[in-house]
Amino acid sequence: MFPLSRPRRLRQHPVLRDLVRETTLSAADFILPLFVRPGKGIKKEITSMPGNFQLSVDRLIDEVGAAMDLKVNAFIFFGIPSGKDAVGSSAWAEDGIVQQALRAVKAAHPGAYLITDECFCEYTDHGHCGILTEHQGRLDVDNDLTLPNLARQCVSHARAGADMVAPSGMMDGMVATIRHELDNAGFTRVPIMSYAAKYASGFYGPFRDAAESPPQFGDRNTYQMDPANSNEAMREVELDVKEGADVIMVKPALSYLDIIRRVKDRFQVPTAAYNVSGEFAMVKAAAAKGWIDEKRVALEILTSIKRAGADMILTYFALDAARWLK
């Protein structure tokens, strides 16, 4: 007979627990989202996201430097422009706010890895993710009219110094269009991280405050995914992989761990997950009430996301977690 198995033997000593740990978490796993706006000397805390700020370019440089001191070296920029219009034209302007930020941060911190979110909700006066046309008596984003502008935005960011572009608008064909235009412009080495499985989630509320991008009417259910659907996510990811996506993202993360695991198991491609603003804010709010241990819960959440299959995690906890993990 085999001797009686006792798994608890491997839990008796902290050193042994470390040795047999299956999932490890480090600052190198994190991508820090940052919000940049026009002005100088601005560091405005986002009320619903404690410890996160709207930053002018000069303060953004400082924030990136402080993060790199903690070994967080990857960042994704979201722009808050000085003006908005119906098509979001400031998104591809040479002097656009993200373009300014890219050039300034690259000059100050050449070792930083800079990713740019590619969408139009921050740049349009209606708050939707592309050009609107009327369909069946209502305004909706026109997929095919939006694609050229999306590619134009990506090329503009690549010219300004973006190391990676991350289209987030869930437009059909966006990866193929962007890849074609990046290659034609000479940016064959710039990878694409596609928000391939982005759900129409209720967890985005604080982000819309941070980016000043709530839709002025309606919702985004016609282009973001139904939270009830899993097989649809596999079709979306497959399309983006075939079109040339280098990294696949699932957003949100915590309520979609099953999707992360399915993506990783099926496609075996680099996989990102976005630990979004609502997930962050809930932990912060409960911790402020004394109901939970913030450090323990946040690290447990981040570990679960990595355990599910994420290779990289976009998270507003990046700086706190980096400090805790030192």
In a domain, 111, yes or no: yes
Mean pLDDT value of segment 292-318: 98
Q: Quote the pLDDT of residue 135.
A: 80
Q: Quote the pLDDT of residue 3.
A: 66
Show the domain range for 288. 30-325
Q: Quote the pLDDT of residue 2.
A: 64
In a domain, 149, yes or no: yes
Q: Quote the pLDDT of residue 1.
A: 57
Confidence of residue 221 (pLDDT cuts 50, 70, 90): confident
Q: Quote the pLDDT of residue 271.
A: 98
In a domain, 38, yes or no: yes
Residue 161 token pair: 């110094």
In a domain, 11, yes or no: no
Q: Quote the pLDDT of residue 19.
A: 93
**Summary mean pLDDT of the chain:** 94
pLDDT at 64 over 80: yes
CATH number, domain with residue 255? 3.20.20.70
In a domain, 127, yes or no: yes
Q: How many domains does the chain have?
A: 1
Mean pLDDT value of segment 30-57: 96
In a domain, 6, yes or no: no
In a domain, 8, yes or no: no
In a domain, 88, yes or no: yes
SS (H, E, C) 21-86: CCCCCCHHHEEEEEEECCCCCCEEECCCCCCCEEECHHHHHHHHHHHHHCCCCEEEEEECCCCCEC
Catalytic residues: 198, 251
Q: How far is it, in rounded angstroms, from Cα 168 to Cα 276?
A: 13
